[in-house]
Structure 1
């Protein structure tokens, strides 16, 4: 059940979710041409897809995570979902044209990525969040888009034992060609790509109190992007020298 009667100090609605809006139902699979169009787009703008983390048991939509290996030009892993866009999201008035999206994150080139490594929650959590957020709008009959933040619980807890960051914000990736950000599916539908960027609790608070712009100014100042840095500076906390 979702409630939207609460508002942040910046005037944006705060949604709290408990029970799923839908009972289990067979997953929606994308048409081959839909998936191929996304994969071709990724190959053109990011690089060759090395492997796919296939979902074995799915609910509502079938979410896969595609891996692109580090290269000299892009020296980090790029992980991108397919499946979130198999169904339209329930966007509100004013967000027309934002019904379809996929998610991504970039991991350091030394990130433990083998099947055995990913059995460790401290290594697997970026994939878990990609899959969870890709399914979230369809589980709760809602939507995710630019500037949306999601805390890791209430109260928010660290995303893993290796970092103090405790939430996520969705933003367009910046280490890509501008043409990558949006994909015209050729049938009147448009698909947007968003990066999931981890946040510290103070950064979550800043966004809730004052909106996205002050936080994005800090991100610009400190060079925060879709490339994950577990120990990056907290942009809203003064460092003690």
Structure 2
């Protein structure tokens, strides 16, 4: 996988000036730590997003215990949301010289008709967002790195589609623009502030565009097309030739 990592020297720098790192071996398996603030996170989700319809629990956890909370569509927000808890049990390995969040949880926003029952999750067509959000939630702790605004993470090296009939083969980390602003952070007094980010899947060309020109230029194209952090499986590639003259 490739992402920005603070404490290593990058062999390659993208045209946008961002370092590109290829992860080595993950940290050895270790028992999960933390798990002290799951209820506070769950309450925060329900307060700002809606009732948690179900929680997809991990049976076996490595380093951190990642659960995925499923919030069904409501009349005011007709989308399904997946939100992690457990990623923020441990701090990420953020650079000392940067004022960036160290405690983070992740969210994905899916179409209202996305199937989230147990039997459907046996099919990767429906399960891949859960797999993705869980992998990204554990990644900083296994590779002693961090995830923050604008970071892109390909699905392997070379990147491959998450599932056969969907073109997405990577993801970008963004603010949860489709969620109320009060949801973006959770203050646990005297302990830590937890920041919530959205995970948005990308096409291969969109990841390459971001590496050349930076996250802001990619987001300008998203804005012009009216895209947000809601996952649209059939979404067009915003860097495709027909969009180049916006």
Instruction: Answer yes or no: same fold by TM over 0.5.
Output: yes
Distance 1:50 1:192 in 2: 22
Match 1:223 to one of 214, 222, 226:
226
Q: Quick check: 1:10–1:208 contact (8 Å CA) kept in 2? A: yes
Distance 2:84 2:157 in 1: 26
Distance 1:220 1:227 in 2: 13
**Superposed displacement of residue 95, structure 1:** 2.8
Match 1:73 to one of 72, 76, 81:
76
- The runs of at least 4 aligned residues of structure 1 exceeding 3 Å deviation read none
**2:6 aligned with 1:24, yes or no?**
no
**2:189 aligned with 1:183, yes or no?**
no
**2:128 aligned with 1:125, yes or no?**
yes
Alignment of 1:56-205 (within 5 A): 56-205=59-208
In structure 2, the gaps of 5 or more residues are 2-7
**Superposed displacement of residue 3, structure 1:** 6.3
TM-score by length of structure 2 reads 0.92
Question: Structure 1 residues 136-145 or 157-166, which shifts more?
Answer: 157-166
TM-score by length of structure 1 reads 0.93
Q: Quick check: 1:173–1:225 contact (8 Å CA) kept in 2? A: no
In structure 1, the gaps of 5 or more residues are none
Distance 1:173 1:123 in 2: 22
**Superposed displacement of residue 52, structure 1:** 0.3
Distance 2:17 2:39 in 1: 40
* RMSD between superposed Cα atoms in Å: 1.7
